């Protein structure tokens, strides 16, 4: 399992590299965004751990460039910023998860394992619900015959809904399965992304599929 760490603070980079190597991962490092992007595009990594504040090219730009090139490698963002707006910006850029500094290595390792596991399992037959179709291989989504353009996190959220239709999903369940977060302060992010998803999935449709269960969470179901 090969991981690329793009972090300009050499003490932090060394700390992450040493810890991951002790867990038997193969780790390469880069110290600026341009170098990190080049390495991510040229070599077959299983995961990129990417700092937001980098010289030459910032982390948000790096992950956007990866996604524009159809590179679906999982990306874990590292940053000192932890506001809702900053987290949304990081996820909207195409990153798969977000970890704020300072962090415990055990938490970083848990995120790494979850992202690698999710990537390995991200294959299978097309999923259907009502007139929605989701292809886990290509990450494409359609409502009726219209393809819907989703960000990486919107796609992950919709896939979780479609694998658990007609079930009430609490915000805690969504946080744990889609973001690997368990703390209450993450609730606003979930609500923001459900609203994003609704606008793309339901806004122009006759039947709404994503419903709020007041005080509990959300459910994917056909209107009665």
Query: pLDDT digits over 17-68, tens only?
Result: 999 999 888 899 999 999 999 999 887 788 999 999 999 999 999 999 998 8
- Other beta carbons within 10 Å of 34: 15
The model carries a pTM of: 0.59
Where does the pLDDT of residue 143 fall: very low under 50, low under 70, confident under 90, or very high at 90 and above?
A: very high
End-of-domain residue from the set 121, 143, 169: 121
Residue 6 shares a structural domain with residue 116: yes
CATH number reported for the structural domain that contains residue 159 in this entry: 1.10.10.10
Beta carbons of 88 and 192 less than 8 angstroms apart: yes
Number of independent structural domains in the chain: 2
Residue 153 shares a structural domain with residue 115: no
Is residue 210 helix, strand or coil? Answer: strand
Residue 25 shares a structural domain with residue 110: yes
Residue 88 shares a structural domain with residue 23: yes
Residue 24 shares a structural domain with residue 108: yes
Residue 110 shares a structural domain with residue 188: no
Query: pLDDT digits over 101-115, tens only?
Result: 888 999 999 989 888
Dihedral angle of Cα 206, 215, 118, 100, to the nearest 10 degrees:
120
Query: pLDDT digits over 151-200, tens only?
Result: 888 988 998 899 888 989 988 888 877 775 555 555 688 899 999 999 99
End-of-domain residue from the set 121, 146, 179: 121
Beta carbons of 162 and 176 less than 8 angstroms apart: no
**Domain range for residue 142?**
127-220
221-224: long-range contacts at Cβ-Cβ below 8 A with a sequence spacing of 24 or more? 221/165, 221/166, 222/130
Residue 38 shares a structural domain with residue 98: yes
Ranked by mean pLDDT, the top range of 132-141, 142-151, 163-172 is 142-151
Query: pLDDT digits over 64-104, tens only?
Result: 999 888 788 889 999 887 667 777 777 777 888 888 888 89
């Amino acid at each position: 399992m090969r991981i690329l760490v793009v972090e300009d603070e050499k003490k932090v980079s060394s700390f992450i590299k040493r810890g991951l190597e002790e867990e038997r991962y193969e780790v390469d490092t880069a110290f600026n965004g341009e170098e990190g992007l080049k390495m991510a595009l040229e070599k077959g990594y299983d995961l990129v751990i990417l700092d937001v504040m980098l010289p030459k090219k910032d982390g948000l730009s790096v992950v956007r460039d990866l996604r524009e090139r159809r590179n679906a490698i999982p990306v874990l963002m590292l940053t000192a910023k932890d506001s809702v707006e900053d987290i949304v910006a990081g996820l909207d850029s195409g990153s798969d998860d977000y970890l704020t500094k300072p962090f415990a290595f055990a938490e970083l390792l848990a995120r790494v394992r979850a992202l690698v596991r999710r990537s390995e399992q991200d294959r299978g037959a097309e999923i259907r619900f009502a007139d929605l179709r989701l292809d886990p291989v290509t990450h494409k989504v359609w409502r009726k015959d219209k393809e819907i353009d989703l960000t990486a996190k919107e796609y992950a959220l919709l896939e979780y809904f479609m694998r658990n239709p007609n079930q009430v999903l609490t915000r805690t369940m969504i946080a744990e399965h889609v973001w690997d977060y368990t703390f209450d302060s993450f609730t606003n992010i979930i609500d923001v992304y459900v609203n994003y998803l609704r606008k793309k999935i339901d806004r122009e449709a006759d039947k709404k599929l994503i419903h709020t269960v007041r005080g509990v969470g959300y459910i994917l179901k056909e209107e009665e």
